[in-house]
């Protein structure tokens, strides 16, 4: 394994930073202490610090020592925790009730800081690195806001890269794939309006429960009959609320659910299909339907050329035999998608281990594996030295 020796030297420091961030979790757009910590470390390393993008976002800018080639790269980490209660009892467990770093963003922030320290010391590259620390990855779209507020205008990046720890992969392994890696995730609410009445006199009203049942079944054909069998998508109706008693047909039924897809085209097809069903199916039974559709994160789609680079760098750091190129995509979602929609780049998975013990992402006993901190930081550092080679 080609861990940068200098990075291995500060494994203990990185572990201490990671524990400090883990103990003090802050959720979406409230990362004031965390971003102050990041800014303080970056300045300590001698890196130019910019604060305020998307509120609590931080960007560090560093020039290499080689002749300036005008080339630029962005490396992104997320800083936010989750609104959930930690069940771990070790010394660095969360000190804040109801908040926890259960997705490993404490580790992501630490690895990027580790790489920043190394690169600021060595500066063995030509061009500019932008270290992007974003708020609010967990659902609130901090990455989207950074892009909208001019991230790439203020800090030009020819390419942008992301990394997430992956508990299903053992430590020492990395997952790199081209094309879609994470799904787009939308949510929706449906109201079916009928006409309630006595359960013994269904012919005098319009029973919205029966209509809702038809709609749930029909919605399942959007994927099973609407998509090619080799494509994938998800339409899940996860909530149905109606009625108050056994002998009353209610006036209306409320449903809710989620749509997931790996490409913008399938995402659009599923949304259009659902709209069409909600508009046309209830009237067949004398009822009406209304759909409120909320667009969430788009699919995260890796670009081909940057992914070839990411795979080569991962092989250099982890050993070619430890880089998996054939991992399937995840139907989870990631707001790094907005950065990849704006700039070419690639998002990789870093082996973390732990899922065998039930400690998957968002589990109340999850903890980032400190053993992999040097590997993640080495990936970042090697990526910079590869993409921005030192020019004489």
**Rounded to an integer, what distance in angstroms lies between the CA atom of residue 311 and that of residue 68?**
26
Q: CB 105 → Zn ion: shortest distance, Å?
A: 6
Site for Zn ion in 110-129 (CB under 5 A): none
Nearer to Zn ion, 103 or 129 (CB): 103
Q: Which of 54, 103, 270, 359 binds Zn ion (CB under 5 A)?
A: 103
Min dist. Cβ of residue 104 to Zn ion (A)? 6
Residue nearest Zn ion by beta-carbon distance = 103
Tokens matching residue 264: 């913008």
DSSP states along 267-289: HHHHHHHHHHHHHHHHHHTT-EE
Give the Cα separation of 106 and 84 in Å (integer): 15
Number of residues lying near Zn ion (CB under 5 A): 1
Closest distance of CB 139 from Zn ion, Å: 9
Binding mask 180-199 for Zn ion (x = CB under 5 A): --------------------
Considering the complex, state which of residue 105 and residue 177 has its C-beta at the smaller distance from Zn ion.
105
Q: Identify which range of 6-14, 30-38, 101-109, 224-232 contacts Zn ion by CB under 5 A.
A: 101-109
* Beta-strand runs (E) in 297-390: 300-302, 323-324, 345-351
Q: 3-class DSSP state for residue 168?
A: coil
Judge whether 202 and 249 are in contact, CB under 8 Å: yes
- Distance of alpha carbon 381 from alpha carbon 124, whole angstroms: 10
State in angstroms the smallest separation of the CB of 28 from Zn ion. Answer: 11
In the bound state with Zn ion, the residue whose beta carbon lies nearer, of 73 and 103, is 103
Q: Is 58 in the site for Zn ion (CB under 5 A)?
A: no
Question: Is the separation of the CB atoms in 380 and 101 below 8 Å?
Answer: no
CB-wise, 123 or 365, nearer to Zn ion? 365
State the minimum distance, in angstroms, from the CB of residue 58 to Zn ion. 18
Instruction: Pick the piece of the chain touching Zn ion (CB under 5 A) from 62-70, 95-103, 113-121, 282-290.
Output: 95-103
Binding flags for Zn ion, 313-352, as an x/- string (CB under 5 A): ----------------------------------------
Contact 27, 81 (CB under 8 A): yes
Per CB under 5 A, which region of 3-11, 103-111, 168-176, 279-287 contacts Zn ion? Answer: 103-111
Residues 6+ apart with CB under 8 A from 152: 74, 160, 342, 343
What beta strand segments (E) does the chain contain?
48-51, 58-63, 72-78, 128-134, 159-166, 174-175, 179-182, 184-193, 197-198, 233-241, 248-249, 252-261, 288-294, 300-302, 323-324, 345-351
Q: Which residues bind Zn ion (CB under 5 A)?
A: 103
């Amino acid at each position: 394994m080609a861990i940068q020796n200098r990075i291995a030297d500060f494994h203990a420091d990185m572990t201490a930073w990671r524990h400090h961030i883990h103990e003090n979790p802050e959720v979406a757009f409230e990362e004031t202490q965390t971003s102050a910590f990041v800014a303080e470390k970056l300045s300590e390393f001698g890196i130019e610090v910019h604060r305020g993008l998307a509120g609590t976002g931080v960007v560090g800018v560093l020039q290499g020592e080689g002749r300036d080639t005008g080339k630029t790269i962005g490396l992104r980490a997320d800083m936010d925790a989750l609104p959930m209660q930690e069940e771990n009892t070790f010394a660095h467990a969360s000190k804040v009730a109801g908040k926890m770093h259960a997705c490993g963003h404490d580790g992501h922030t630490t690895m990027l800081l580790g790489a920043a320290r190394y690169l600021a010391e060595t500066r063995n590259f030509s061009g500019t690195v932008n270290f992007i620390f974003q708020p609010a990855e967990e659902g609130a779209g901090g990455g989207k806001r950074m892009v909208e507020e001019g991230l790439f205008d203020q800090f030009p990046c020819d390419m942008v890269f992301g990394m997430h720890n992956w508990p299903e992969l053992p430590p020492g392994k990395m997952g790199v794939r081209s094309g879609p890696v994470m799904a787009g995730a939308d949510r929706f609410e449906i109201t079916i309006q009928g006409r309630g009445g006595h359960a013994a006199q269904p012919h005098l009203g319009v029973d919205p429960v029966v209509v809702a049942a038809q709609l749930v079944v029909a919605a399942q054909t959007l994927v099973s009959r609407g998509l090619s069998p080799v494509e994938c998508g998800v339409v899940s109706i996860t909530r149905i609320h109606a009625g108050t008693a056994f002998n009353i047909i209610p006036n209306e039924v409320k449903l809710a659910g989620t749509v997931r897809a790996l490409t913008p085209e399938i995402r659009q097809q599923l949304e259009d299909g659902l709209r069409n069903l909600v508009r046309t199916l209830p009237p067949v039974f004398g009822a009406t339907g209304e759909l409120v559709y909320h667009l969430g994160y788009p699919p995260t789609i890796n670009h081909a050329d940057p992914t070839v680079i990411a795979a080569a760098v991962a092989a250099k750091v982890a050993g070619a035999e430890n880089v998996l190129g054939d991992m399937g995509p995840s139907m989870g979602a990631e707001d790094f998608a907005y950065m990849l929609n704006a700039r070419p780049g690639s998002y990789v998975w870093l082996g973390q281990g732990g899922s065998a013990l039930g400690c998957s992402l968002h589990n109340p006993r999850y903890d980032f594996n400190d053993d992999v901190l040097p590997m993640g930081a080495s990936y970042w550092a090697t990526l910079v030295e590869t993409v921005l080679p030192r020019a004489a």
